[in-house]
Chain A
């Protein structure tokens, strides 16, 4: 456990001292701010204006797809590039400890960035009377969704020593998972249902509506665990290459 903590802490320090992470975080805040503002402006002239964060959540779900690979691409790929992996893997550290430590660091950075958007909640509470249920559900959904996106980025970062390749491949996987909804629309019956269930976005929309369905929580937890498991395997197999 101490090693997980040490690995995580080192990476967190790097996040908070590197311009890249700040730029990524700021872009997230700026973009989601635009979505939030657009949503607020649109309520003007609406006879039944709704004070909600739905616009923010929808926007955030897209931007996270870009943000997660940017946060994770460095984590393992750079160690392979610089050769520091040689000392890491010859230390008495289990491969899963390395993976979990690094993953937790990226998750921490994501949580901090998401926490910074509580600012929108405060605005809504001060100027309107929002329904708190959907907001908390939405945040829970966003964090689960982001956690899954990061786990996919972890895997691709482990598979290559090239950070750009790691980011682009993760982005590709995430885009496919995001747009499976559309594919599901062109299918019928069981295939449609399966494709629908695989998609990372379809599970997010209920949270945005204020519904916390265990099914969706389980989906994100399982997919995240699955990708982290693959990451550990990938790191192990690295020794055989």
Chain B
């Protein structure tokens, strides 16, 4: 459905993205995962025909995004990151206007506006001015306009930022539903979100794609690289050297928190040392007060993936 090759985009002298390649199959839900400034928005803007890439080529359903921009734009529904809406219009008039811009026949517009108001739970706000809606409801209006014309491809740039947890859950399940019929490309910097919604994840970092996999495989690849947080009662110096002796431990950091001694243990890939730790602690007559594994933060993952790439 979407085929991107060698996408590069420069704002001024520095590339925001460089040599990005990816493909999306029809009906697939693809997630772009990356920290701030990774180049997600830049990629989405190129996909939707808002701006052409400096180099490289994207085709959507066989149409070139630059050469056959109108054909592409007819097939895409887009939710930009900032959710730009005409605040001096009411929800219904705004949606009707967007429908006309998308070239929908007027009788369809009427029907579809009702449909999307329903789907996005905007019933009570039909004739509210958009200026008066809260952020979360604006987000819904943004999604409503993106799906209004039943596009083949939905491009959603961080669709769940700025909305409350309950609505986040709703929005995610809405996107999941949409993904059953449509091709969806979304971006996010929340790992669990992407793993929840997407069938495939692209991890983008500093303008480069550093990993591409299913959420399951990705989780597996990153598994065992977790950290343990352990609280041990005992002299810190001795505890530190003891912990460092244990096989499978890659590094240990120590923090004193209000008369609690906490050790963060980074493990080698695939190692499980919980048993060894508890034995060692008890053998020395110290007390093991707590132990829990801490998932890697997104930053850890990027750090890991990017350093992996370099090695």
Contact = CB atoms under 8 A, between A and B. Distances in A.
Contacts of A240: 51-52
Nearest to A81: B84
A86 B80 contact: yes
A14 B78 contact: no
Interface string A7-39: 100100010011000000000000000000000
B82 interface: yes
A84 B131 CA distance: 14
Contacts of A93: 101
Contacts of A85: 84
B103 A89 contact: no
A160 B101 CA distance: 23
Contacts of A86: 45, 50, 78, 80, 82, 84
A87 B52 contact: no
Interface string B33-74: 000000000000100111110000000000000000010011
Contact of B80 (A6, A7, A83): A83
Contact of A3 (B50, B78, B80, B101): B101
Interface in B173-214: none
Given A14-B88, A239-B52, A91 B80 contact: no
Given A89-B50, A90-B48, A90-B78, A3 B100 contact: yes
Contact of A87 (B78, B100, B103): B78
A191 interface: no
A241 to B, nearest CB: 8
A97 to B, nearest CB: 9
Nearest to B145: A87
Contact of B82 (A2, A14, A17, A83): A83
Nearest to B51: A239
A239 B66 CA distance: 11
Interface of A: 2-3, 6-7, 10, 14, 17-18, 82-94, 239-240
